[in-house]
């Protein structure tokens, strides 16, 4: 199943969690990915919230697999900022392998944030955002 963004936005949280835990880590991605925040999944508000965030807050991530880093694309004009280290590690959700996007040593603003991503389809990743160890939201990345 290809799992496009509208499908992910319509899935209830339990289904997103199952998809994440059933998916492999995949390779560390390289290049620019369009990002979609998944807030209030499975509700009528999810797509509208994602669109609003995409226009004014966060557009996605630019990965440099060779250096093991990424930059987020933020604000309305796609400023590349907020750097993270990227590496394979153990997921806080299920203790299986995932790709960790670690801001703890690279960002003053986001140092308490940790993202985890897994490959759900070719060129598509599903992510989980943590603040300290508290799960916040999901997101999708499409390369």
pLDDT, position 78: 87
CA distances from 120 to 48, 111, 132 (A): 23, 27, 25
**Eight-state DSSP code of residue 29:** P
Name, in order, each residue with C-beta under 8 angstroms of 85's C-beta and a sequence gap of 6 or more.
68, 69, 100, 101, 102, 103, 105, 106
pLDDT in tens, 59-74: 999 999 999 999 999 9
Domains in the chain, start-ordered, CATH in brackets?
A: 5-142 (2.40.128)
pLDDT in tens, 119-128: 999 999 999 9
* pLDDT surpasses 70 at 134: yes
| pLDDT band of 39, cuts 50, 70, 90 | very high
Pick the more confident residue, 131 or 77: 131
Q: How far apart are the C-alpha atoms of 15 and 30, rounded to whole Å?
A: 27
Which region, left, alpha or beta, applies to residue 75 given φ > 0 means left and ψ of -120 to 50 means alpha?
left
pLDDT in tens, 96-107: 999 999 999 999
pLDDT in tens, 77-102: 889 999 999 999 999 999 999 999 99
pLDDT, position 126: 98
| pLDDT band of 36, cuts 50, 70, 90 | very high
Q: What is the mean pLDDT of residues 20-28?
A: 98
pLDDT, position 118: 98
């Amino acid at each position: 199943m290809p799992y496009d963004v509208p499908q992910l936005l319509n899935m209830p949280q339990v289904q997103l969690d199952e998809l994440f835990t059933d998916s492999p880590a995949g390779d560390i991605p390289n290049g620019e990915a369009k990002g979609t925040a998944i807030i209030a999944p499975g509700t009528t508000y999810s797509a509208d919230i994602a669109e609003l965030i995409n226009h004014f807050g966060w557009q996605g991530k630019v990965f440099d697999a060779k250096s093991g880093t990424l930059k987020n694309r933020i604000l309305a004009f796609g400023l590349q900022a907020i750097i993270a280290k990227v590496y394979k590690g153990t997921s806080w959700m299920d203790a299986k392998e995932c790709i960790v996007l670690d801001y703890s040593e690279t960002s003053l603003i986001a140092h308490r944030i940790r993202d985890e991503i897994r490959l759900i389809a070719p060129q598509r990743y599903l992510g989980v955002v943590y603040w300290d160890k508290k799960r916040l939201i999901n997101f999708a990345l499409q390369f």
